[in-house]
Amino acid sequence: MGLIDDARQVAEQFEYPPKEVNNGVKEFIRQMDEGLQETEKSLSQIPTYVTAVPNGTEKVALEPMRSGGVYLAVDLGGTNFRVCSIRLNGDTTFSLTQSKVAIPRELMVAKKSEDLFSFLAKQIEAFLKTHHNDHFEEHRQKKEAGQNMTNEHFLQLGFTFSFPVQQIGLNRGHLIRWTKGFDIADTIGKDVCALLQTEIDALHLPVKVAALVNDTVGTLMARSYTSPGKTGTLLGAIFGTGTNGAYVEKLDKITKLKKMAGSGDYDASTGDMIVNTEWGSFDNYMNVLPRTSYDLELDKESNNPGFHLFEKRISGMFLGEILRRVIVEMIKGGKTELFKDESSGSNDIHSTTTIAYDSPLYKQWGIDTSFLSVAHADQSAGYRITRQALARDLSVDAASSEDAEAVKILVEAIGKRSARLSAVAIGAVV
């Protein structure tokens, strides 16, 4: 059997045919209903206390806030932290100023919550000094003068926190678990809004955390504002480092809401509430999710085994790692001819194929999912672009066109399964 046949045989393990897609949709709907009735289910179906969506006519009033009609928003959703200031213009448009900073890896796995949240507060401080320094200085001077501070002197901040939380109010929510490579045990069970507010207050910033919002909820709200239509926005979905979705549900279907301890107040007049599905954990029961040995080993060696099994098959953080494990298995022990051109006579670029001893192939998370995008899109002669990426990103030098074609076959199989699984979630909600 040749290399291409070997690659196709491995790729068959990732097949997810239409029949299984349909079965997945049915099970997704069942687990959605289950999560609306009870807590601690595979699909968390978290009530957000947001009971209406915008229609594009909303404006931020200049008063009573002394900030010139500006709201702040921060987004902790993965490897980056964003700080923004927003003004709604009332005509489906808005003005936005933003900054972005990478989260240091050591803070993602810090021992104490305050290590991470103090870093976040300092980024807010830096943003205010850069973009709203007049308001910042006015607040500082009044505080030093001993003047009383009322709400009009504070910027209202929306906290987009893209991790599973048990929300018990508009600006109150306890962390259920970390995902996306974060692992700070000290934060579990704590109110993330209170943690951020404590660090903001320590820096004496004119900011109040007014709302806790999942990124999917923010996506749904933003789309509702910018593109109001006759049908309205049905779904806010994220397919990035992780994956999740939020949608508008009828209040009377969220039967667990009345049974939840410490449940906060909400406006029931609309009859609706946005629900954060936390669909990254769809089918942790493994009733219908496909499984390969690569999926099982990835989960076993992750920082949250047994959780977010849906996410681990479709999101940006994990697809590169699935591919890496497949490639390592294929080259291990000479099982296939992948990257085995040992003489220039058999290599179409007339050079020996070598894999550096410290290649990212041999390191967990060594392949970034962007590599899959490059290989999938490659239409160049002899898969030149993929071969260049193998050398540049993975230290695989002088790979043959057959090597690159085999990798492309694997990439397409992993990507197609991911796309079809994503369709399960969208199809179930819509």
* Banded pLDDT at 410 (limits 50, 70, 90): very high
**CB 113: neighbour CB atoms within 10 A?**
20
Residue with tokens 């029931």: 268
**In angstroms, rounded to a whole number, what is the distance separating the alpha carbons of residues 362 and 371?**
16
Q: By the 8 A CB rule, do 86 and 95 touch? A: yes
Q: What is the 3-state secondary structure (H, E, C) of 174-186?
A: EECCCCCCCCCHH
Question: Which range (32-46, 54-68, 130-144, 365-379) has the least confidence?
Answer: 54-68
How distant is the alpha carbon of residue 206 from its chain centre? Answer: 29
pLDDT at residue 47 greater than cutoff 50: yes
Helix (H) or strand (E) holding 394: helix 384-394
Q: What is the pLDDT of residue 341?
A: 74
Q: For 267-298, how does the pLDDT look when each residue is reduced to its tens digit (9 = 90+)?
A: 889 999 999 999 999 999 999 999 999 999 99
Active site residues: 162, 177, 215
Which residue type is seen at 172? R
Helix (H) or strand (E) holding 230: none
How distant is the alpha carbon of residue 75 from its chain centre? Answer: 11
**CB 419: neighbour CB atoms within 10 A?**
12
Q: What is the pLDDT of residue 147?
A: 67
Q: What is the pLDDT of residue 69?
A: 62
Q: By the 8 A CB rule, do 82 and 167 touch? A: no
**CB 209: neighbour CB atoms within 10 A?**
22
Of 36-40, 259-263, 377-381, which one has max mean pLDDT? 377-381
* Banded pLDDT at 28 (limits 50, 70, 90): very high
**In angstroms, rounded to a whole number, what is the distance separating the alpha carbons of residues 335 and 6?**
9
Higher pLDDT, 29 or 52: 29
- Phi, psi angles (nearest 5°) of residue 410: -65, -45
| Mean pLDDT of all residues in 120-143 | 84
DSSP string, 246-277: EEEEEGGG-GGGGGSTT------TTSEEEEE-
Higher pLDDT, 344 or 304: 304
Give buried/exposed letters for 64-87 (b at 16+ CB in 10 A, else e): ebbbebbbbbbbbbbeebbbbbbb
pLDDT at residue 37 greater than cutoff 90: yes
Q: For 313-323, how does the pLDDT look when each residue is reduced to its tens digit (9 = 90+)?
A: 999 999 999 99
Q: For 171-186, how does the pLDDT look when each residue is reduced to its tens digit (9 = 90+)?
A: 999 999 898 889 999 9
* Banded pLDDT at 145 (limits 50, 70, 90): low
**In angstroms, rounded to a whole number, what is the distance separating the alpha carbons of residues 93 and 56?**
8
Instruction: For residue 64, say if its preceding peptide bond is cis, omega within 30 degrees of 0.
Output: yes
Name 213's bridge partners.
160
Q: For 329-339, how does the pLDDT look when each residue is reduced to its tens digit (9 = 90+)?
A: 999 977 899 99
For 103, which DSSP code?
A: P
Q: What is the pLDDT of residue 162?
A: 83
Q: For 51-99, how does the pLDDT look when each residue is reduced to its tens digit (9 = 90+)?
A: 999 988 887 644 434 445 678 999 997 789 999 998 888 889 888 999 9
